[in-house]
Structure 1
């Protein structure tokens, strides 16, 4: 959920404060205003919330990946500003004719931040770690991305888990590795660019209990210190400290194999409120921030000391409908929800010209999008008729959740979206019971676990340029978030995923999108074009469509 879907994830503040109290004590200059003497080497950046954890295999939200993307690297990465893959820890790769065997040549002379060597054994240790997760680690709140891409595990402990995609990993000497899968998978290679599949130090994971965790009231929690205080990768920045609710400190890794980061330090602060982020930028407390409120863009661009950067649109905001909850297992009721959501008014009122109404889950830029999906314009009378045709008495009660303490690229102000949707549903035969939860640590986990009401506001920013990363992640297998089994949809998405012929994949995904919008497991409502804001002295920042950006090219220069 990188944006948060379902694609995501959480942890209790008490636990975090206890663990993070062990973090490095920050000097007084760390939180200083950016006109401090050290400002030219320290970037202070504001996100909207704390990370969930710092073990990328166990998270799926954008705020966590914002940090882990600086610390860790995968076999492949993405070219800045695009969704095209590039070499990272692998310098090259070959795919066998069977489409199920991948041979990666690895980069030489790379070390993890703890000084241990990166090599083929380390790669296989990571792949086998994911494959052999057991117990609480097989819960969706722990390994959402692994399950979305790789399916099941070596020993599936639930009949809702699918057969595993992964088969084996073999080290062929020190710097070559062969990875085999059980079936062909079109998006496998670009999926490896996800931070969730970054290569982590096997030694650090063993030392600091990365594989220790438990379920508490149905939600996964790491119990070792690795995910809070000892994340160890090969990236251009290494972990410094984490003070929950205040800051994460990342320091330049002097032993980095590639071009060294131009900044000596990056401080990432969680500032949930849009106005507070803008005020912090104007006063110089921060140098830049993500998730600019659409209504603020004009005033920022009118300030001679500030600027905005546009992120390419690559997301979808939607309303989950949980079919495990009666009467939402009835198609007519889901159609009534769709007709009862005034999506056009929400986009018009709260996105300030920087979004379009989403008619399906794929953004128009991705192959497989089609204009032939069923449409559901706002129609309160039709909504009431559908509810009555389902044998229900009006109004129909609905538990509707939305998050607090967060702003997302696809959902700048969740409370405003919720209130507008609540009002339109009340006019359409429903009686809405509002329910809120903080984005961190509770909301996304509840969404993923299917415990966030009958309806909930959520969304998704894509991770790589393939339709499987949207509809495949959402609807390719059973998900507690949506609570349905539909073999026709599961099967066509599986066929599309395993197909390697581009034209055939396009046709299959177009068919799948029509099926999905007829079945209505959720209601998409917006594709947005997010913005970031910076002081004009900040140079070299390139927004990625995926919402996960690199800090290593960033520097300070004249206006």
Structure 2
């Protein structure tokens, strides 16, 4: 993110950024419709999307864009985390949780004019299930593998066994999806943007193109990198991705089945500094932005801007990849790193009001949070002692961090990195910094296990503890680079339990096992703020950061 530098230097950089923004967006900002009303909403996003096809993504900035254009079978209630109907009006499963029946909405059209029906649903699920080559990379098909496992024919022994069995169009408006085993990821997984439904016509065009990989670098298919091919059913359709100006343009879809978007045009522009986003809003160059710097909240509210705060539903952590640095295989070294970090200072100086130091890999707002986990207090002397006991005095380690991005759990990555680097060096650890552009470089590298230490986090997709701990520790994962069957079994113990109380108890035990093993260091959970101009009627803000921009209007 931004580099630590003097306040004057930051102000100059921010002013330059605002000047560029003002120049680049004047034509969009000043658009009015035939009634003289403003017809374009411009939103400042903290990072670039990686793809226009959400099935190929795992990052929130991609989903912020695609959520406006694509819909899944299930959705979350506006402003909340309760599952509600999406493209399926109602749904049910058998007692075993292996057969899911969806009663679909009628009269729904895709952006390319194709009709939505059960055959379209099955075409999507079968398309993902039959992915080959680079599409089977966990960096590309992360969410499919998380929710449904592997593929019709796995090409890598590390790819999980497929849990998806079949999709059947029982009739035009009834789709039946069958899985081999029940899973805590269902039905929540049916609400994910990565499993949003595309036009069958678009799918055929997708299948004619390949993703390729060279080392950790992935080249995404052309259709996912420019507008014109992707087609969903959402209230907006994607019409342009101008990578030079770092913005995506969407236009209201007038044949949308539900309530039409209130503003005709939507522009989502990347402004990757907190100062730049704030000053752009103050100058009137944008109409809203996400991830307000903690110090800016009161300033903006005092100037009359609207700054609603979301509920806490995220986790920020320091990841360790044991296969990347053999020293990390020693438990004492991982414990030393945990004791070296002054997490209270990180929360106090870098996170919004209401942020908390994390003791485990889920926030305390999720069922399964345990009060009985092993904790690691800030203690530089103890960190040095543990390193000496492990024979690792003078440890040298590479530390990757992302640039050109702000995340809900990670307001200023550069600043957080510098503070953690200083803490580690106090304990005698020599840190080699490795900055990387967020999308796709950093995301692909961390997913591939290329970083010894790295900063990442998670905003829950749906309200189940397994969506946090199961995301990382249900099985071998290159990001962490360790194998521990006992730990994996503990994490999975609650994933197939139907009884809610039993499941919660199993998650608590899993959290205790995770923190005893200590694969990484949970840092914090925080309530991210989002800002809107004075003349905007904002959408309901979501603890899942799943705002629906079709709800926005101008006063």
- 2:26 and 2:317 map into 1 onto residues whose CA distance is 42
Helix, strand or coil at the partner of 1:77: strand
| Deviating 4+ runs (over 4 angstroms) | 31-39, 208-211
- Relative to structure 1, the CA distance from residue 33 to residue 236 in structure 2 (aligned partners, 3 Å threshold; closer, same or farther) is closer
- 2:427 and 2:493 map into 1 onto residues whose CA distance is 38
- Relative to structure 1, the CA distance from residue 389 to residue 226 in structure 2 (aligned partners, 3 Å threshold; closer, same or farther) is closer
Shift in Å at residue 216 of structure 1? 2.4
Q: Which residue of 2 aligns with 1:390?
A: 390
- 2:390 and 2:45 map into 1 onto residues whose CA distance is 44
Deviation string, structure 1 residues 454-512 (Cα, Å, up to 9, x no partner): 11111111111111111101111211110011111222222211111101100100000
Q: Is the 8 A contact 1:312 1:544 kept in 2?
A: yes
Q: What stretches of structure 1 of length at least 5 have no aligned partner?
A: 1-25
- 2:472 and 2:224 map into 1 onto residues whose CA distance is 29
- 1:275 and 1:27 map into 2 onto residues whose CA distance is 18
Q: Which residue of 2 aligns with 1:46?
A: 44
Q: Is the 8 A contact 1:395 1:431 kept in 2?
A: yes
Answer yes or no: is 1:425 the counterpart of 2:424: yes
Q: Which residue of 2 aligns with 1:312?
A: 311
Q: Which residue of 1 aligns with 2:223?
A: 225
What are the equivalent positions in structure 2 for 1:210-249 lying under 5 Å apart? 211-229=209-227, 230-246=229-245, 247-249=247-249
Q: Which residue of 2 aligns with 1:287?
A: 287
TM-score, scaled relative to structure 1: 0.92
Answer yes or no: is 1:556 the counterpart of 2:522: no
Q: Which residue of 1 aligns with 2:364?
A: 364
Helix, strand or coil at the partner of 1:506: helix
Shift in Å at residue 441 of structure 1? 2.9
- Relative to structure 1, the CA distance from residue 202 to residue 389 in structure 2 (aligned partners, 3 Å threshold; closer, same or farther) is same
Q: Is the 8 A contact 1:200 1:233 kept in 2?
A: yes
- Relative to structure 1, the CA distance from residue 303 to residue 181 in structure 2 (aligned partners, 3 Å threshold; closer, same or farther) is same
Shift in Å at residue 28 of structure 1? 6.8
Q: Is the 8 A contact 1:540 1:554 kept in 2?
A: yes
What are the equivalent positions in structure 2 for 1:271-282 lying under 5 Å apart? 271-282=271-282
Q: Is the 8 A contact 2:127 2:203 kept in 1?
A: no
Helix, strand or coil at the partner of 2:549: coil
- 1:223 and 1:95 map into 2 onto residues whose CA distance is 35
Q: Is the 8 A contact 2:248 2:268 kept in 1?
A: yes
Q: Is the 8 A contact 2:198 2:232 kept in 1?
A: yes
Q: How many residues align?
A: 529
Deviation string, structure 1 residues 195-224 (Cα, Å, up to 9, x no partner): 001001121121355752111223332233
Helix, strand or coil at the partner of 1:316: strand
Helix, strand or coil at the partner of 2:84: strand
Q: Is the 8 A contact 2:223 2:230 kept in 1?
A: no
Q: Which residue of 2 aligns with 1:330?
A: 330
Deviation string, structure 1 residues 80-100 (Cα, Å, up to 9, x no partner): 111111101101112112221
Shift in Å at residue 385 of structure 1? 1.2
- Relative to structure 1, the CA distance from residue 448 to residue 32 in structure 2 (aligned partners, 3 Å threshold; closer, same or farther) is farther
Helix, strand or coil at the partner of 2:454: strand
- 2:478 and 2:29 map into 1 onto residues whose CA distance is 41
Answer yes or no: is 1:348 the counterpart of 2:353: no
Deviation string, structure 1 residues 312-348 (Cα, Å, up to 9, x no partner): 1110110001111211011111111111111111111
Q: Is the 8 A contact 1:210 1:224 kept in 2?
A: no
- 1:381 and 1:414 map into 2 onto residues whose CA distance is 26
Shift in Å at residue 37 of structure 1? 8.6
- 1:38 and 1:386 map into 2 onto residues whose CA distance is 68
Helix, strand or coil at the partner of 2:248: strand
Q: Which residue of 1 aligns with 2:534?
A: 536
- Relative to structure 1, the CA distance from residue 517 to residue 39 in structure 2 (aligned partners, 3 Å threshold; closer, same or farther) is farther
Q: Which residue of 2 aligns with 1:9?
A: none
Q: Is the 8 A contact 2:30 2:38 kept in 1?
A: no
Of 326-335 and 216-225, deviating more is 216-225
TM-score, scaled relative to structure 2: 0.92
Shift in Å at residue 38 of structure 1? 6.2
Q: Which residue of 2 aligns with 1:446?
A: 445
- Relative to structure 1, the CA distance from residue 134 to residue 302 in structure 2 (aligned partners, 3 Å threshold; closer, same or farther) is same
Deviation string, structure 1 residues 111-133 (Cα, Å, up to 9, x no partner): 10000111111100111111111
Helix, strand or coil at the partner of 1:49: coil
Shift in Å at residue 245 of structure 1? 4.2
Q: Is the 8 A contact 1:360 1:373 kept in 2?
A: yes
- 1:553 and 1:210 map into 2 onto residues whose CA distance is 36
Shift in Å at residue 27 of structure 1? 10
Of 327-336 and 213-222, deviating more is 213-222
- Relative to structure 1, the CA distance from residue 344 to residue 34 in structure 2 (aligned partners, 3 Å threshold; closer, same or farther) is farther
- 2:359 and 2:185 map into 1 onto residues whose CA distance is 24
Q: Which residue of 2 aligns with 1:298?
A: 298
- 2:236 and 2:278 map into 1 onto residues whose CA distance is 26
Shift in Å at residue 186 of structure 1? 2.6
Helix, strand or coil at the partner of 2:542: coil
- 1:35 and 1:420 map into 2 onto residues whose CA distance is 49
Q: Which residue of 1 aligns with 2:269?
A: 269
Q: Which residue of 2 aligns with 1:378?
A: 378
Q: Which residue of 2 aligns with 1:20?
A: none
Q: RMSD over aligned Cα, in angstroms?
A: 1.8
Helix, strand or coil at the partner of 2:42: strand
Q: Which residue of 2 aligns with 1:141?
A: 139
Helix, strand or coil at the partner of 1:496: coil
Q: What stretches of structure 2 of length at least 5 have no aligned partner?
A: 1-23
- Relative to structure 1, the CA distance from residue 169 to residue 403 in structure 2 (aligned partners, 3 Å threshold; closer, same or farther) is same
Q: Is the 8 A contact 2:29 2:286 kept in 1?
A: no
Shift in Å at residue 546 of structure 1? 1.1
Q: Which residue of 2 aligns with 1:184?
A: 182
Q: Which residue of 2 aligns with 1:30?
A: 28
- 2:508 and 2:422 map into 1 onto residues whose CA distance is 33
